[in-house]
Amino acid sequence: MALSQRLEFRQTQALVMTPQLMQAIKLLQLSSLDLAAYVEGELERNPLLERAGEDDATPAETASGAAANDEEAPATSDWIDADLETSRQSIEQGLGTELENVFPDDAGEKNSTPPDTQPALSEWSGVGQASTQDYNLEAFASAEVTLADHLAEQMTLAISNPAGRMIGQYLIDMVDEAGYLTGDLETVADKLGARLSDVELVLAVLQTFDPAGVCARNLTECLAIQLKDRDRYDPAMQVLVAHLDLVAKRDLAGLRRLCGVGDEDLADMIAEIRMLNPKPGLSFGSTMVQPIVPDVFVRAAPDGTWQVELNSDTLPKVLLNQRYYTRVSKTTRSDKEKAYIADCFQTATWLVRALDQRAKTILKVSGEIVRQQDGFFAQGVQHLRPLNLKTVADAIGMHESTVSRVTANKYMATNRGIFELKYFFTSAIAAADGGEAHSAEAVRHRIRQLIDDESAGDVLSDDTIVDKLRDAGIEIARRTVAKYREAMRIPSSVQRRREKHATGT
């Protein structure tokens, strides 16, 4: 076959991932905190963006300005239409990777108040001088003390020898957030050029520090330190702590034989062990615990329906200052300046539209979830229906990938608590009579109820639970019951029977 060259025309369709489209997709899956940080970066970078109420520009001016310049926006500005949802299907796998946020964090604003208008620090503290910057009293009051700082403060009082302090600080740096000492003492002695006995002596001092049990090398040593601190480390308790594996297995007969105590004494000893703290260092966390802020509120309406509304506090309020854009665009001279202003205008317009569309999409998805799970809000978790992304996506005319991104890192405040939106999507378990399927979460709740209601003389095995669920119209396998039970950290029927006989419940 002879080889030849020729020209051909081919027509293909492809979705072009413009920066604006990537921005819109990224905003959908951001949490409220991440979104606020992202918007702060955009406000710092783009001079045409402003927070609502910062200038005399009104939303009407912003809307009219954006409409008047629609011809400057690219053709992809109709990304919010349903066509994009269809086009996304072809690149679903390519959108799985999160885009990196290239915008800097908010650096904060410097105080511009003149020094002579601020109260002197000495007026309320008795020390210090007047400062040119504001003092945030809440920052001082809420400053978190880390475990390492807490131990270092105690070490300065307990150890006066410089060599001992060096060893102690090295050991403190090896303590993890749970309060346990990581690493080997021989390695420490070798690195510091100290004797192993000196390192062990310093460690013994550190183990007397607050909180009790800190600087232990394992759980047994941690509990032993706490029991010594309470003067409860007698021989029987020492044997019990040395056999924690039997405590976990609830082998009460073996523990009674090893400890040489009766049933009542053993029950008291186990109860005392459970009162100890296995991770004493967690009371001095190194990270700030961030409370969950709901994105959506669900309230009962007088007519028996449910009202769904967005949490306005989590929605960034930004505007495009059309008046400032008109004034600046008239003063530009070079092509570089014109290109910069045009880029800022386009970016600001897209951000405002993307935030508006994000809010509408969250509200639409949340409303459909509430409609699908009406039984949960009215009667509880037992009436949670099986639900998947496709069901919600088909009901509101969106793609599954969009619903997945919307429900990521979003929370809903309801009459039954605050739940992540993904909580309402559960797998289906078939009904025994062929009726409506049951959600996995509802079945787990029913299994827990059955186990909570059992008595010492009638402990339910997994097979018995399967029979009871089948009588209630739920078709489920024994291995599924065991999987759900283990996921809820409920021991087996043998272990529960031992525990109930030991406690007499």
Tell me the domains of the chain and their CATH numbers: 18-84+294-426 (no CATH), 147-284 (no CATH), 428-503 (1.10.10)
Q: Torsions phi, psi of 10, nearest 5?
A: -130, 140
Q: Is 474 helix (H, G, I), strand (E, B) or coil?
A: strand
Question: What pLDDT is recorded for position 288?
Answer: 53
- CA 444 to the chain's CA centroid: 23
Q: Torsions phi, psi of 408, nearest 5?
A: -80, 130
Question: What pLDDT is recorded for position 370?
Answer: 92
C-alpha span between 313 and 361 (Å, rounded): 17
Question: What pLDDT is recorded for position 332?
Answer: 82
Q: Do 48 and 320 contact (CB within 8 A), yes or no?
A: yes
Please confirm whether the linkage preceding 104 is cis (ω < 30° from 0).
no
Question: Rg of the chain's alpha carbons, rounded to an integer?
Answer: 32
C-alpha span between 443 and 437 (Å, rounded): 11
C-alpha span between 38 and 106 (Å, rounded): 9
Task: Identify each DSSP E strand in 119-253 by its residue range.
Answer: none
Q: Which of 24, 17, 16 is nearest to 349 (CA)?
A: 24
Q: Which residues of the chain have pLDDT under 50?
A: 54-135, 137-142
- The secondary structure of 84-117 as a DSSP string is HHHHHGGGTGGG-SPPP--SPPP------S-GGG
- Give the side-chain half-sphere CA count within 13 A for 252: 20
Please confirm whether the linkage preceding 291 is cis (ω < 30° from 0).
no
Question: What pLDDT is recorded for position 1?
Answer: 59
Q: Which of 94, 90, 97, 89 is nearest to 401 (CA)?
A: 89
Q: Do 403 and 365 contact (CB within 8 A), yes or no?
A: yes
C-alpha span between 159 and 161 (Å, rounded): 6
Please count the helices (runs of H) and the strands (runs of E) in the chain.
24, 8
Question: What pLDDT is recorded for position 161?
Answer: 80
Q: What is the 8-class DSSP label of residue 313?
A: G
Question: What pLDDT is recorded for position 310?
Answer: 92
CB burial class (10 A; 0-12, 13-18, 19+) of residue 143?
exposed
Residue type present at position 197: S
Q: Do 338 and 332 contact (CB within 8 A), yes or no?
A: yes
Q: Torsions phi, psi of 175, nearest 5?
A: -85, 130
- CA 206 to the chain's CA centroid: 33
Instruction: Locate all alpha helices (DSSP H) within 97-184, ordered by sequence.
Output: 122-125, 137-141, 147-158, 162-173
The pTM assigned to this predicted structure is: 0.53
- What dihedral angle (degrees, nearest 10) is formed by the CA atoms of 177, 179, 180, 182? 50
Question: What pLDDT is recorded for position 286?
Answer: 53
- Determine which helix (DSSP H) or strand (DSSP E) holds 247, and give its type and residue range: helix 244-249
C-alpha span between 224 and 202 (Å, rounded): 18
Cβ neighbours for 385, distance < 8 A, ≥ 6 positions apart:
372, 373, 375, 376, 436, 439
C-alpha span between 424 and 392 (Å, rounded): 11
Q: Is 211 helix (H, G, I), strand (E, B) or coil?
A: coil
Q: What angle do CA 209, 215, 219 make, to 5 degrees?
A: 120
CA-based torsion, 206, 211, 217, 223: positive or negative: positive
